[in-house]
Amino acid sequence: QVQLVQSGSELKKPGASVKISCKASGYTFSNYALNWVRQAPGQGLEWMGWINTNTGIPTYAPVFTGRFVLSLDSSITTAYLHINTLRADDTAIYYCAREPPGGSNWFDPWGQGTLVTVSS
């Protein structure tokens, strides 16, 4: 079945970096773009951007330019979210989510989420 499995929780200090993985299985990886969504504790959903799994080209929401990098390793059907210079307000659950072909950006399924805690 279609599955997105993310890496485990991370505890980082301010200023450090983190790399979260999203392993896809059960479908042809290059046919479906992958999106990333952030959910701060007790808060709503924020779309971070998406990556074209055919070309590897990422697109970022304006709020998430600069410290956030989306990448792929298509050989292992895995997408990555790299966050540099972590701040306390980066503490959140980060989800990857698949969108259907054709640019219709609803998301299904979602990964289980990766909790990143930034604390000194």
CA–centroid distance for 69 within its chain: 9
H-helix or E-strand spanning residue 73: strand 68-73
Choose between 61 and 69: whose C-beta lies nearer to another protein: 61
Among 57, 63, 76, 88, binds another protein (CB under 8 A): 63
11 lines the binding site for another protein (CB under 8 A): no
61 lines the binding site for another protein (CB under 8 A): yes
Q: Is 60 helix (H, G, I), strand (E, B) or coil?
A: strand
* CA pair distance 120, 105, nearest whole angstrom: 37
27 lines the binding site for another protein (CB under 8 A): no
Among 12, 46, 52, 69, binds another protein (CB under 8 A): 46
